[in-house]
Amino acid sequence: MPELPEVETVRRGLAPVMEGAVITRAEVNRPDLRWPFPPDMATRLAGQRVTTLGRRSKYLLADLSSGETLLIHLGMSGRMLVSGDPLGRFVHDHPAPEKHDHVVLHMDNGARITFNDPRRFGAMDLMRTDESQAHPLLARIGPEPLGNGFHENYLVGALRGRSMPVKSALLDQRIVAGLGNIYVCEALFRAGISPLRRVSRIAAPRIASLVPVIRDVLRDAIEAGGSSLRDFRQADGELGYFQHRFDVYDREGGPCRTPGCTGRIRRAVQSGRSSFYCPRCQR
């Protein structure tokens, strides 16, 4: 599933052709994805100007001139692809429709945004913009890791008294938004903290040290266009490249990349998810 860097990469690719443009026509080619689409979605989108294209955790949020916000979740295999871009950033002509093109937005600037989702685990919803943060999918999400609300004192306080493994804590969207398996593994490696270590056994200064490390990992991933492991594509259809820079994720048995370390990357299963780490560097 795309994590924060992938969704932010898609947002940055879509923003130049969506923000300020009007949705002249919306094609909704099926009644649902993971959940049913909101009633009359095509009619409610048509004629609306996209005033802002934002992101909250792993969700895209398009604020519309109607006072509603379109929420988009990419799910496991969803892609938001741009064609016919008048700004010249995308060279793709409009392709022929494909089987899994479930929602297509025609913009007044000539661009077309296609939501393609073979597995149909994605989602779209419409809600009042002034009530968007109370939406059930957004209401309990923690601070953005690249925002001002995520700082050393916050993380130390949020993890105080918890006995769960630190990997599980960082994956909890109520504690910090948008982090997933890949980037938690990479951040814990850079911080030298084992994903198996329980939060209660980690000193507050080490917990605090995770904040700048998490930010650095996310910024590096966004700069590389995210990570493409299976289905993820940027808005122009190109792959992300951060997977070529993984230190531990999906490198079981490979050598540790820390200079002078002779360790090999191990994999452990935590709550049904694979954790990758170096047992020598991470304590």
Q: Give residue 94's pLDDT band: very low, low, confident or very high (50, 70, 90).
A: confident
The tens digit of pLDDT for each residue in 110-164 reads 999 999 999 999 999 999 999 999 999 999 999 999 999 999 999 999 999 999 9
**Two structure tokens written together for 44:** 């409610």
State the pLDDT at residue 235: 72
State the pLDDT at residue 84: 82
- pLDDT at residue 100 tops 70: yes
The tens digit of pLDDT for each residue in 209-261 reads 999 999 999 999 999 989 876 667 777 777 777 888 999 999 999 999 999 99
State the pLDDT at residue 86: 63
State the pLDDT at residue 221: 94
Helices (H), 178-268: 181-191, 204-223
Q: How far apart are CA 212 and CA 174, in angstroms?
A: 19
Give the residue extent of every domain in the chain: 4-134, 152-277
**Is there a catalytic annotation at residue 19?**
no
The tens digit of pLDDT for each residue in 3-62 reads 999 999 999 999 999 999 999 999 999 999 999 999 999 999 999 999 999 999 999 999
- pLDDT at residue 89 tops 70: no
Q: Give residue 67's pLDDT band: very low, low, confident or very high (50, 70, 90).
A: very high
What type of residue is 30? R
**Two structure tokens written together for 79:** 């892609």
**Is there a catalytic annotation at residue 167?**
no
**Is there a catalytic annotation at residue 131?**
no
Please give the class, per CATH, of domain 152-277.
Answer: mainly alpha
3-state SS track over the chain: CCCHHHHHHHHHHHHHHHCCCEEEEEEECCCECCCECCCCHHHHHCCEEEEEEEEECCEEEEEECCCEEEEEECCCCCEEEEECCCCCCCCCCCCCCCCCEEEEEEECCCCEEEEECCCCCCEEEEEEHHHHHHCCCCCCCCCCCCCCCCCHHHHHHHHCCCCCEHHHHHHCCCCCCCCCHHHHHHHHHHHCCCCCCEHHHCCHHHHHHHHHHHHHHHHHHHHCCCCCCCCCCCCCCCCCCHHHHCCCCCCCCCECCCCCCCCECEEEEECCEEEEECCCCCC
- pLDDT at residue 1 tops 90: no
Contact 53, 60 (CB under 8 A): yes
Of 267, 273, 279, 280, which residue is the catalytic one?
Answer: 273
What type of residue is 182? I
**Is there a catalytic annotation at residue 2?**
yes
The tens digit of pLDDT for each residue in 112-121 reads 999 999 999 9
Of 11, 56, 58, 266, which residue is the catalytic one?
Answer: 58
CATH of domain 4-134: 3.20.190.10
